[in-house]
A and B are shown apart, each in its own frame.
Chain A
Amino acid sequence: MGKRFMYMNTKAPYGTVYALESLEVVLIGAAFEQDVSLAFIGDGVYQLKKGQDTQGIGMKNFSPTYAALGDYDVNKIYVEKESLEERGLSLDDLQHLVWEDEDEDWAEKDSIKLVSRSELADVIDDQDVVLSF
């Protein structure tokens, strides 16, 4: 399965380019058949907020791209619980990201794993490469 790659997302979308350009790395990276996980912590959780409408600010709404991640075999998306709570958000506020498990008759499964800070620390600890943006 190759190396375990973890993409760290700590920044909100639109105010800076990091969210968009890190997503572009994920999509390209998917072709390399490594073991990919994404982590959203701190303001990074805002990237997954549903209902983004960017018409008024004249920027491209790239949030639909997160929904396509499942098709790229990127289905381990860790969202830190404490970061959500600090921001008055819950899982319901985020996009519902899914993937289809071909080993289970293409059953639709949730890609987002809500984890506590300490659980996430263990997940990150297990990774071979951490990509930060």
Chain B
Amino acid sequence: MTTLHTVNKSPFSSSSFDDCLGLAKSGSTVLLFEDGVYAATTGTSSAEAITNANGVSFAVLGPDAKARGVEGKIADGIKVVDYDGFVDLVAEHDKVHAWL
């Protein structure tokens, strides 16, 4: 079963990003949206963790990054999607696991 994990909190204020990485299996995707987009920004330990995560893909919701003025700071290798892409990700995975 493939899972789309969603993380919506900043990695600096909540452990949900770390908790998600600890449980995400290879073949799954993590979508960072709302305040979770900060985890995808360059120069952070979370972006480094993303680079080192084996077999787990990452995506960031562009509109949320843009809203926060960090769309130009998204680390390499992280796909930027819009709400259409969010819907597609949901369809492409067997289930969604929201980290709240």
Contacts and interface: CB of A to CB of B under 8 A. Distances in A.
Do chains A and B directly touch (beta carbons under 8 Å) in the complex?
A: yes
Contacts of B16: 10
A124 B23 contact: yes
Interface string B10-27: 000001100100111100
Contacts of A120: 23
Contacts of A130: 3, 95-98
A96 interface: no
Question: Which bracket fits the contact residues of B?
Answer: 10 to 19
Question: Which bracket fits the contact residues of A?
Answer: 10 to 19
A129 B1 CA distance: 11
Interface in A114-133: 117, 120-122, 124-130, 132-133
Most buried by A among B16, B22, B98, B99: B22
Nearest to A126: B1
B49 interface: no
A36 B81 CA distance: 33
Nearest to B23: A121
Interface of A: 8, 10, 18, 41-42, 82, 117, 120-122, 124-130, 132-133
Interface of B: 1, 3, 15-16, 19, 22-25, 94-100
